[in-house]
Amino acid sequence: MIASPSATATQPQGDASLAQRYQRVRDATLAWCSGLHPEDAVVQSMPDASPVKWHLAHTTWFFEQFLLGRDAGYEPLHPLWTYLFNSYYQSIGPMHARPQRGLLSRPTLAEVIDYRRRIDERMGDLLQREPDRAGLGSLLELGLNHEQQHQELLLTDIKHLFSLNPLRPAFRDGGPTPRVYQGLSSRFLRGREGIARIGHDGEGFAFDNESPRHRVLLQAHAIANRCVTNAEYRHFIADGGYRTPALWLSEGWDTVQREGWQRPLYWNEDLQGEFTLAGERSIDPHAPVCHVSFYEADAFARWAGARLPLEGEWEASAQQQGGDGNFADCGALHPLPAQGNGDTPLQLFGDVWEWTSSPYVGYPGYKPAAGALGEYNGKFMCGQWVLRGGSCATPASHMRASYRNFFHPHARWQFSGIRLGKDA
C-alpha cells in the first residue's frame, strides 16, 4: 500500500508556522492514500478524472514550479516532468494531454513518492531559511489550497474509478456508524432582500475569482431550509422526470438522450442501492441526493415548481450561518441527512456542492493575477456554472462563504446536489 505519514488526514491550524502548516497539508494528502495499492494509483477512469499518482505529482510540481522555481538559479529535480505534470498553464509550456494521464506508467509511483519527499525537504529549507521573504506566504497559501482542492479531487476520482470495477471495492471500510434520522420537512425561508455585499471580505485566504467584494441587488426570494433528498428525487424519477422533455434545457435533454441517464450517477437500477466510498450501501431516503448534473438539478427544480438559487442569494444566506458541516474531516465521506429545527437554512456547508443558477463569470472589476498564476481561474469563465458550500469530500478549513466552485453543466462525478430557491 501507499506509505502514509503518522498524521491523519486533518487540515492545518492557523497558528502553526509556515513549515508546519505546509507539512500538515502534504501529510494529509498521503494519509488519504494510505489504503490504496499502487495498482489503484495509476488508472484513469475517464478524461475528467486523473490517476492518484498524477495528483500526487502535480501538487508537488506546483510547489516546485511556483515557489522553489522563483529562484533564478533553481534546477528542477526532473526537468522533463514539467511536461508530464503541468495541468493547464500554457504560459509555462506544453503539457501531456489530460485524457492520456492514465498512460503514464512511468515515472513509477515509488518515484513520485520520492519526488514528493525531496521537494518537501527543499520546501522545508526554504520556509525555514526565508520565512519573511516577500510574497512567499501568499504563494504558499495558494499552493496549500491548491493541494486541498486535489485532496477532494483525489477522493471523487477514486470513487469513480472503483465504481467501474465489478468487485465494487471500498475506498474506506466502515466509517462512522450510520445513525437513524427522522426526515426533516422541506420548507422555504424568506431570503434577504435589497442590496447585499458578496465576495471575499479580505480576511484570510481566497482565490482571485472570489474578488472583488461588490454589491448585488437581491429581489424578493426564498431558499429551501435543506437540500433535496434522495426520497424527493425518487419521486421526480417515478413521475417521469427523465422522460419529460418540457422539464429540461435543450442541451440537458440532448445529454439525457445521448447518455441514457435515468437516475443519479452511482445509483443502482432498482433505486434502492448506491455505490459509495465505503462500497455498496442502501440509499438513505433522508440524505441529500448527490452526483447530479446542473441539467438534472435544473430539471428537478422545474418539476418542483421552483428554481435554483442565484449565487448572490446563496452567499447572502450563508454569511449568516456558521461554517460547520459534514466535511471530509468528519470521516463519513458521504452526505448525511439534515439535522435541526429547519428555522434557518441547514447544510449550507458540507454534504454536497449546491448548484446555483449563476454562470461562472468574473465579478465586476475582476482582474486575473499577473503571470502564469493568472491562468488558475480566469480563463475558465466560459460555459460553466457556479456551485457553493463544499461537500463531504472537501477539507473543512478549505471552505468559506465566498468560495466559488465551478463545473460544466453535464458534470456528475463530484458530490453535487440541489437546494431549491424561488421568487417570493
Helix axes 136-163, 18-32, angle to 10 degrees: 10
- Give residue 174's pLDDT: 63
Query: 3-class DSSP state for residue 273?
Result: strand
Mean pLDDT by 10 residues, the chain (424 residues): 62 64 97 96 98 98 96 94 96 95 97 98 92 85 97 98 97 65 86 96 93 98 98 98 98 98 98 97 97 98 98 96 92 94 91 98 93 90 97 97 98 98 96
Nine-digit cell at 407?
A: 463545473
Cis peptide before 212 (omega within 30 of 0): yes
Report all structural domains of the chain as residue ranges with CATH numbers, in order of start: 18-163 (1.20.120), 188-423 (3.90.1580.10)
- Give residue 131's pLDDT: 75
Q: How far apart are CA 21 and CA 12, in angstroms?
A: 5
Q: How far apart are CA 38 and CA 43, in angstroms?
A: 10
Q: How far apart are CA 197 and CA 26, in angstroms?
A: 35
Q: How far apart are CA 209 and CA 377, in angstroms?
A: 6
Strand partners, 215: 197
Q: How far is CA 11 from CA 8, 66, 88, in A?
A: 9, 22, 26
- Give residue 394's pLDDT: 98
Chain segment 241-274, per-residue pLDDT in tens: 999 999 999 999 999 999 999 999 999 999 999 9
- Give residue 7's pLDDT: 44
- Give residue 401's pLDDT: 97
Q: How far is CA 421 from CA 190, 270, 319, in A?
A: 10, 29, 17
CB 34 within 8 A of CB 155: no
- Give residue 132's pLDDT: 75
Strand-by-strand arrangement of the 421-423 sheet: 188-190, 221-224, 421-423
Q: How far apart are CA 10 and CA 204, in angstroms?
A: 19
